[in-house]
Chains A and B, each alone.
Chain A
Amino acid sequence: MLDILRADWLYLLVGQYPEGPLGGLALTLLLAALSLALALPLGIALAVGRIAPVRPLRLAVGGLIWVVRGTPLILVIFWAYFLVPLLLKRPVPVVVTATGAFVVFTGAYLAEIIRAGVQALPPGQWEAAQSLGLTRAQVLRRVVLPQALRNMVPSLVNQFVTLTKDTSLAFIVGLGELSYVASKINDRTLVHPAEIFLLVGATYFVICFALTQFARHLEHRLQWGQRQG
């Protein structure tokens, strides 16, 4: 395992960068962070649509979320691979298609988390804010969403962990993130496949486990804060 590390540590960390495109672990984390950042506004928009007072909108958004959540991520990536260039009417680099797929997929999951967070707030919040003369949109923006999102921070960290693991699927469109780099090293050497994938698995584990523990810690603090009033 040390041989692999000695020979390929830089390749595993950043891919072919700076001679080629950024890859490896750096790309994995970048993809996950970028996708989460873009998925959050989408998730909020979908969650708002899902609880909107307009029934057709509610049904349409609910249906969309249900379809995306019921489809395997690989298939979503294939859809993006086919649809994104069609919509933009020009060829698109795979990093864009892959990010698009992760954003839509994660957005649908976030929407359900946000909706649950909004609906978990006591109805008195709505009533109080509306009786002060705020419109529905103002209540959402100024009162409900800030509280719901604050309670959601642990879920967001967990979603980042899920995304970090999910970005490995960008492998199938040939994007050079960590899993792709690992399989390239495996194709080249073919001597120690178990060690290579164990090493890469351990890399994912260190990051994801640390973040999962961090999310648990945040959750405890949040509960403690709420108990204090």
Chain B
Amino acid sequence: MLGSSILGQGRYREWLLQGLLTTLELSACAALLALALGLALFLLRAAPNRLPRLAATAVVEFIRNTPLLVQIFFWYFGASEFLPEAVSRWLSDHGFEFIAATLALSVYTAAFVAEDLRSGLRAIPREQMEAARACGLSFLQSMRRVVLPQAAAHALPALVSQALNLTKNSSMAMTIGVAELTYQTRQIESYSFRSFEAFGAATLLYLAISLAIGALGNRLERRSWARPSHA
């Protein structure tokens, strides 16, 4: 299809590929960071003490009930208020939009990851944690060695669908000028006036990414460690 269209050659093809690459980069960076942050939030929410539990719950609820767009603006426009001016200036010369978008996307996704891990945890009998603690493991050790591997296996399908959401949400980075797929599509459209082709190509590329992530998820779910045990 792309062969006969204006998107098949020259700068338009260049723009489209660059956009696709940026979307993949942005999504991959944000996914890794979201997994780490989400894990931290999950551990705080499962912690034996009340204070970290309450704080983490408040953070998760606030993030989940606020539009991602507003969060992107908060990080992008708001960061300059907290950083020293020299740092801000250096950052804005070195692609701060990408950093801000990665930060916003990963914080947003982390709240959902924490929630999914928590649902996974509910599938694990409470006695597992109690038994591990009774054997002398600390809270973190019991989590890492006993409970978390099982909870993560239960949460895997939900986590895969968060990866899908993340890739789609990364399109919002265009609003602060990250040249990802939707941004480049818009660019191609306004230069070439071929709206149908431009949006069609972007839609197909997003669907292809979804298919790829879905296939990857299926492969992961078939691994032995990812099969939830129902014992």
- Could you tell me the distance in whole angstroms from the C-beta of B231 to the nearest C-beta in chain A? 27
Indicate if the CB atoms of B169 and A205 lie closer than 8 Å.
no
Q: CB within 8 Å of B: which residues of A?
A: 67, 70-75, 78-79, 82, 161, 165-166, 168-169, 171-172, 179, 182-183, 186, 192-194, 197-198, 200-202, 204-205, 208-209, 212
At the interface, is chain B mostly helix, strand, loop or mixed? helix
Given contacts A78-B199, A161-B65, A201-B66, list 17 more A-B pairs with CB under 8 A.
Answer: A70-B207, A71-B207, A73-B168, A78-B186, A172-B175, A186-B73, A193-B73, A193-B74, A194-B74, A197-B71, A197-B78, A201-B71, A204-B67, A205-B62, A205-B66, A208-B65, A208-B66
- Residue on B nearest A164 in the bound complex, by CB: B67
> Is B171 an interface residue, CB under 8 A from the partner?
yes
A73 vs B69: C-alpha distance when bound (angstroms):
12
Contact indicator per residue, chain B 74-98, by CB within 8 Å of chain A (1) or not (0): 1001111110000000000000000
B199 proximity list for chain A (CB < 8 A): 75, 78-79, 82
Indicate if the CB atoms of B78 and A168 lie closer than 8 Å.
no
Indicate if the CB atoms of B74 and A197 lie closer than 8 Å.
yes
Indicate if the CB atoms of B73 and A75 lie closer than 8 Å.
no
> Is B33 an interface residue, CB under 8 A from the partner?
no
Indicate if the CB atoms of B67 and A166 lie closer than 8 Å.
yes
Indicate if the CB atoms of A165 and B81 lie closer than 8 Å.
no
Indicate if the CB atoms of B77 and A74 lie closer than 8 Å.
no
Indicate if the CB atoms of B203 and A179 lie closer than 8 Å.
no
Contact partner of B185 among A75, A197, A205, CB < 8 A? A75
Indicate if the CB atoms of B182 and A74 lie closer than 8 Å.
yes
Indicate if the CB atoms of A75 and B206 lie closer than 8 Å.
yes
Indicate if the CB atoms of A193 and B203 lie closer than 8 Å.
no
Contact indicator per residue, chain B 139-181, by CB within 8 Å of chain A (1) or not (0): 0000000000000000000000000100011111011000000
Question: Contacts A82-B199, A194-B77: A201 and B70 contacting too (C-beta < 8 A)?
Answer: yes
B168 proximity list for chain A (CB < 8 A): 70-73
Contact partner of A198 among B74, B170, B171, B195, CB < 8 A? B74
Indicate if the CB atoms of B73 and A72 lie closer than 8 Å.
no
A184 vs B168: C-alpha distance when bound (angstroms):
26
A169 proximity list for chain B (CB < 8 A): 69, 172
Question: Contacts A168-B69, A172-B175, A204-B67: A75 and B74 contacting too (C-beta < 8 A)?
Answer: no
Question: Contacts A82-B196, A194-B82: A74 and B66 contacting too (C-beta < 8 A)?
Answer: no
Contact partner of A74 among B71, B73, B174, CB < 8 A? B174
A-B CB contact pairs (8 Å), 24 listed: A70-B168, A72-B169, A72-B170, A74-B172, A75-B182, A78-B186, A82-B196, A169-B69, A179-B67, A179-B69, A179-B73, A182-B73, A186-B73, A186-B77, A193-B77, A194-B77, A194-B81, A197-B74, A198-B74, A204-B65, A204-B70, A208-B66, A209-B65, A212-B65
B68 proximity list for chain A (CB < 8 A): 165, 168
